[in-house]
A and B are shown apart, each in its own frame.
Chain A
């Protein structure tokens, strides 16, 4: 059964760094673009970043550009999000999502998410 499982969340102080990861299984990971989407408590989802199937193309939301880096290791079926210079505004559940084959910016599979809390 195809699934996405995130890990690496936790509590971190403002200004520090954290890396969250997403393990994919049950589908051909290297055929799909992948996204990160976050959702702050009580708020709607916010798109964070996308990476192409081969890792060459990347795009970021303005709110994280220059601080976050999306990457993937296709040989390990793993997606990463390196988050630097974290602020309290980055507190959210971070979910990875698979891009639909037809529309690369529609999310046809989601993970459960990993919670990142930025607090002193």
Chain B
């Protein structure tokens, strides 16, 4: 199975900060990566797919990029509603796998 290693596992940031989360795949997966946001008591939300395509309705402060087996989710200006846990997921092949998550907390 393809392993996804997310870093950092947690970070503290302030409103307005630029934040980046990295997801490294254990082997080549093209651009078959999606990113999700998870908040306690809320349903998970798709943010990005195909590494850099923004899901409809997701604010443009979210962006994604890819370089080889490294994938990055960037929030250009952190907003109060962005404090959450973020997961990457690969859909290049089965079994579908997720990263370990990055918890974004308020500094």
Q: Which residues of A approach B to under 8 Å, CB–CB?
A: 4, 35, 44-47, 50, 59, 61-62, 95, 97, 100, 102-103, 105-112
- Cα of A89 to Cα of B1 in the assembled complex, Å: 19
Chain B residue at minimum C-beta to C-beta distance from A65:
B95
- With both chains docked as a complex, state the minimum distance between the C-beta of B47 and any C-beta of chain A, in angstroms: 11
- With both chains docked as a complex, state the minimum distance between the C-beta of A106 and any C-beta of chain B, in angstroms: 5
User: Tally of A-B residue pairs with Cβ under 8 A?
Assistant: 56
Interface size class, chain B:
20 to 34
Given contact pairs A105-B91, A108-B55, enumerate 16 new A-B contacts (beta carbons under 8 Å): A45-B36, A47-B96, A59-B94, A61-B95, A95-B43, A97-B44, A105-B96, A106-B46, A106-B49, A106-B89, A107-B89, A109-B43, A109-B46, A110-B44, A111-B43, A112-B43
- Cα of A110 to Cα of B32 in the assembled complex, Å: 19
Q: Which residues of B approach A to under 8 Å, CB–CB?
A: 1, 32, 34, 36, 42-46, 49-50, 55, 87, 89, 91, 94-101
- With both chains docked as a complex, state the minimum distance between the C-beta of A23 and any C-beta of chain B, in angstroms: 14
For this complex, 15 residue pairs linking A to B, each with C-beta atoms less than 8 Å apart, are A4-B43, A35-B96, A44-B99, A45-B36, A50-B96, A61-B95, A103-B32, A103-B49, A105-B91, A106-B46, A107-B34, A108-B55, A109-B43, A109-B46, A112-B43
- With both chains docked as a complex, state the minimum distance between the C-beta of B5 and any C-beta of chain A, in angstroms: 11
B34 and A106 form a contact (CB under 8 A): yes
Interface of B is mostly: loop
B46 and A46 form a contact (CB under 8 A): no
- Cα of A116 to Cα of B55 in the assembled complex, Å: 30
- Cα of A95 to Cα of B42 in the assembled complex, Å: 12
Chain B residue at minimum C-beta to C-beta distance from A100:
B49
